[in-house]
A and B are shown apart, each in its own frame.
Chain A
Amino acid sequence: MKKYLAIILALVMVFALAACGGGGGSGDVTKDNIKIGVVHIGPLADQGYTYNHHIGAEKMISNLGLRSDQYIPKFDAGVDPAKVTNSINELIQEGCHIIFATSFSHQNQMIEAARENPNVVFAHATGTNAIDAGLDNYHNYFAKIHEARYLGGIAAGLRTETNVLGYVAAHPFAEVISGFTAFYLGALSVNPDVTMEVIYIDSWGDPPLEQQVATRLIELGADVIAQHSDSATPAIAAQERGAWHVGYNNDMRSAAPDASMLSPRIDWSIYMTLAVDNLLNGKKTPVDWGEGLASGAAFITELNTSIVAPGTADAIEAAKAKIISGELKIFSGHLVDNDGNNAKITGYGDPAPLIYEFTGPDSHFAESAGPSAPSFNAIIKGINIIS
């Protein structure tokens, strides 16, 4: 009996110690002691999403004049819940005061950790549930990338000769649909005859499949390929077949010098700097944060001036100024679906709740104004989903 008691006591002490060790972030947070953790979905070498988020974090460190060892990245956390939870817990153990997570699929683990660790701030990119969670230490953030995609669409609309665009799309989610619709509306704003073919790859990235899909879109008559997928293989397919291309996440000109016109991109450092700075100064960070072209959180990479259509740079500049001033609203007007009915934005659930309906020429939907994650998920006229 004594033996068991001893074991139980020992266990209690171990757990007590662990409890003391955890929940870092107590005491004053200063520039000197702050630690910032980031749970990255992929490895640094991915040439895309994770790399982009990593340089955002590095820029935040230099913006705030912190030391590089104060940024603790956990790469390749993936989407497996146990692994994500481990990564978050490790960051808490290391005494991080604020933890960022980069993937939508980290949502449940992040909110769980936020409930258990009220002293640590949790900021989750692309997530949707902070607005309803009511936690002081849990925020969502995203960039209004659709604004940058709209500008990419302008380049595509001016460039196309067949008036058919092709889009390599990841998943049939609002995040993707909002992006390709903004791209299409950008093209439509300069070219009323343009239509767009879309094929989903059903993953965030599968390089050979992305390439095959892009090739197929070109066979179907598309001469500008755009993408919401991780790799540069759509750019390479466009290059091989003499088409043009609008990328994502990375400047793809070096992979496809005669095809890649520009890439919409996110500068994550804007939000990361704000969130960390607010924590240092004891200020509140908005529950949902989403900014776009105005602050540079969404931007386009340098134009490939040797291949874009004449006048592209001016058209993009003009549209950019109007988007920033609020004069140009992207999801506006009487948008209809392919059957001619009013386009409807719906939420999750069964039956899906109606979020917004485009009823007339004055309709407009302010994307990412409420929840920072995109919600536009209507398929509008002119866009043909192939598969």
Chain B
Amino acid sequence: MEGFAVVDFFFMAVIAATPLLFATLGEILTQKSGSLNLGVEGMMFMGAAAGVAASYIYEATVGDATLGFVSAILAVLIGFLAGALGGLIYSVLTVTFRANQNVTGLALTIFGIGAGNLVGELLGIRAGGFTTVAEDTKRMFSSISIPWLSDIPVIGRLFFSYNFMVYLAIITAIVLMWIFNKTRVGLNLRGVGESPATADAVGINVTRYKYIAAIVGGGICGLGGVFISMADNSGTWIFNCIAGRGWIAVALVIFAAWRPSRAIIGALLFGGLSVLRLYLPIDGIPAQVYNILPFVATILVLIFTSIRQSKEHSQPKSCGINYFREER
């Protein structure tokens, strides 16, 4: 075997990182409002299945008139909405009915996995085999090629040759960063997450902020699922295709210290570590050791942040606790 293929490794790390990044960003947004939604895995499943279903049904309906572009947009949009539906269910239960956040999140995971696999199974029965989308649609989710930029050796492959969802994930991170740090809405949202009672007292609509954060956050998690089903799996429904990536994202939120910028680095690190074994196998180090590396990193980050006691970069104070105005 030849030496360490750095470019191939980086490319694969980015592809492995993108669904994690979407899910982490969605969960960061949700947690910023003080809601700890452990249903990331479920919302990713819902997004993944809904994305394939949207494309498949659209293509089956219009037949030969299928436009790959429309089909891809539909997959992303419906996948987002499916994840958002998960966020809505979560909000109704925890914000309106004040159900326990942890239990609701876990229930949402179980529900989402079941719903996603059910939709996938129904599609499979309808397609009589594996459900898959049209060639044009698949092409929309394959690597882009920007004239001359993508052709630059090394740089072109490293930065300008991913599928569009990779760039969408980075844009999402930048937009979230801007909202959190530079806008009034972001300030209010952080206020709600830190101390809903105070936010309420200054006239911020706590319920509305919590709902919108969880719904949009769920939608972004759903995009992580769409990435796996549409880009990784070329629009083919694969049973159990998320396979625990949502849980890694929950750990990543802690690693990223609730900051979108660090989520990009963290996702890349986790993605890279998850495929490192394929590129840099060391005799005598079993696969299991490679597999635990991301979590060892998370524990180290937890230890360091708790030693440093940084208030700004820790979990929003009210996370996990439902807000009762009457108990103020």
A387 within 8 Å of B (CB atoms): yes
Taking CB as reference atom, which chain B residue is nearest A48?
Answer: B239
Instruction: Determine the chain B residues whose CB is within 8 A of the CB of A384 once the complex forms.
Output: 1
What mask results when residues 274 to 289 of chain B are scored 1 for a CB within 8 Å of chain A, else 0?
A: 1101110100000110
With A208-B228, A231-B240, A386-B281 in contact, do A236 and B12 touch (Cβ < 8 Å)?
A: no
Q: Determine if A208 and B243 form an interchain contact, defined as CB atoms under 8 angstroms apart.
A: yes
Interface residues of B in 218-259 (CB under 8 A from A): 228, 232-234, 236, 238-245
Give CA–CA (A208, B45) in the complex, Å: 13
**In terms of DSSP, what is the predominant structure of the interface of chain B?**
helix
B127 touches A206 (CB 8 A): no
Asked whether A212 and B121 contact (CB < 8 A) given A219-B5, A231-B239, A254-B132, the answer is no
| Segment at the interface with B among A54-62, A133-141, A197-205 | A197-205
Q: Are A216 and B243 in contact (CB under 8 A)?
A: no
- Report the minimum CB–CB distance from B244 to chain A (whole Å): 8
With A216-B279, A255-B132, A387-B277 as contacts: A232 and B287 at CB distance below 8 Å: no
Q: When chains A and B are docked, how far (Å) is the Cα of A232 from the Cα of B131?
A: 12
Answer whether A211 and B232 are a contact pair too, CB < 8 Å, given A47-B130, A233-B238, A386-B281: yes
Q: A215-B12, A254-B132 are known contacts. Are A208 and B240 too (CB-CB below 8 A)?
A: no
| Contacting pair A254 B278 (CB below 8 A) | no
Bound Cα distance from A25 to B274, whole angstroms: 50
B16 touches A (CB below 8 Å): yes
Specify which of B1, B238, B277 is in contact with A207 (CB 8 Å cutoff): B238
Q: Do A231 and B234 touch across chains, with their CB atoms under 8 A apart?
A: no
| B120 proximal to A (CB < 8 A) | yes
1/0 contact trace for A34-67 toward B, CB 8 Å?
0000000001011110000000000000000000
Contact yes or no, A207 B130, CB < 8 A: no
Cα–Cα, bound, A47→B131 (Å): 11
Complex contact B279–A236 (CB within 8 A): no
Which residues from 182 to 205 on chain A have a C-beta closer than 8 Å to any C-beta of chain B?
199-200, 202, 205
Interchain CA distance A202-B286 in the complex, whole Å: 10
Query: Taking A213-B278, A215-B12 as contacts, is the C-beta distance between A387 and B287 under 8 angstroms?
Result: yes
State how many angstroms separate the Cβ of A127 from the closest Cβ of chain B. Answer: 25
Q: Please, how many angstroms separate the alpha-carbon atoms of A386 and B276 in the complex?
A: 12
For the complex, is B291 an interface residue (Cβ under 8 Å from A)? yes
Quick one: CB contact mask for A215-233 with B, threshold 8 Å, 1 for yes?
A: 1100110000000000111
* Pick from A253, A254, A387: contact of B127, CB under 8 Å: A254
- Is B129 part of the binding interface, using a Cβ–Cβ cutoff of 8 Å? yes
Q: Once the chains are docked, how many angstroms separate the CA of A45 from the CA of B15?
A: 27
A205 and B239 CA atoms in complex are apart in Å by 10
Please state if B287 and A231 are interface contacts (CB–CB under 8 Å).
Answer: no
Task: Tell me the B145-196 residues at the A interface (CB within 8 Å).
Answer: none
A208-B281 contact in complex given A45-B120, A45-B121, C-beta closer than 8 Å = no
Of chain B, the residue at the smallest CB distance from A216 is B278
**Is A252 engaged at the interface, CB distance under 8 Å to the other chain?**
yes
Least CB distance from A174 to B in Å reads 18
Q: For window 99-140 of chain B, which residues contact chain A by CB distance below 8 Å?
A: 117-118, 120-121, 124, 127-130, 132
Would B243 and A240 count as touching, CB distance under 8 A? Answer: no
Instruction: Check A46–B233 contact: CB distance below 8 A.
Output: no
Is residue A367 contacting chain B, with contact meaning CB distance below 8 A? no
A219 contacts across to B, CB distance below 8 A = 5, 8
Contacts of A48 in B (CB 8 A): 239
Q: In the bound complex, do residue A43 and residue B236 qualify as a contact, i.e. CB atoms below 8 Å apart? A: no
A254 touches B129 (CB 8 A): yes
**Shortest Cβ distance from A239 into B: residue:** B234
Q: How far is the CA of A209 from the CA of B244 in the complex (A)?
A: 11
Report which of A216, A231, A239 forms a contact with B238, defined as CB distance below 8 A.
A231
B305 at the interface (CB under 8 A from A): no
Inter-chain CA distance A45–B234, complex, in Å, is 20
B19 surroundings in chain A (CB, below 8 A): 208
- Which A residues lie within 8 Å of B242 (CB)? 208
**Complex: how many Å from CA A227 to CA B234?**
19
Chain A residues near B12 (CB, 8 Å)?
A: 212, 215-216
Residues of A within 8 A of B261 (CB): none
- Chain B nearest Cβ from A200, distance in angstroms: 6
**Minimum Cβ distance to chain B for residue A74 (Å):** 17
Contacts of B322 in A (CB 8 A): none
CA A161 to CA B15, docked complex, whole Å = 28
The answer on a CB contact under 8 Å between B129 and A236 is no
Q: B275 near A212 (CB under 8 angstroms)?
A: yes
- For B127, list chain A residues within 8 Å (CB): 254
Give chain B nearest CB distance to A51 CB in angstroms: 9
Q: Can you list, as one digit per residue, whether each of B12-40 has a CB less than 8 Å from chain A (1) or not (0)?
A: 10011001000000000000000000000
Q: Which residues of A contact B (CB under 8 A)?
A: 43, 45-48, 199-200, 202, 205-209, 211-213, 215-216, 219-220, 231-233, 236, 239-240, 251-255, 384, 386-387
In the complex, given contacts A208-B245, A212-B274, A212-B275, what are 11 additional A-B residue pairs having Cβ atoms less than 8 angstroms apart?
A43-B239, A45-B120, A46-B239, A200-B287, A207-B240, A207-B241, A233-B238, A236-B236, A251-B129, A252-B130, A254-B127
**4 closest Cβ contacts across the A-B interface?**
A254-B129, A387-B281, A255-B130, A45-B121
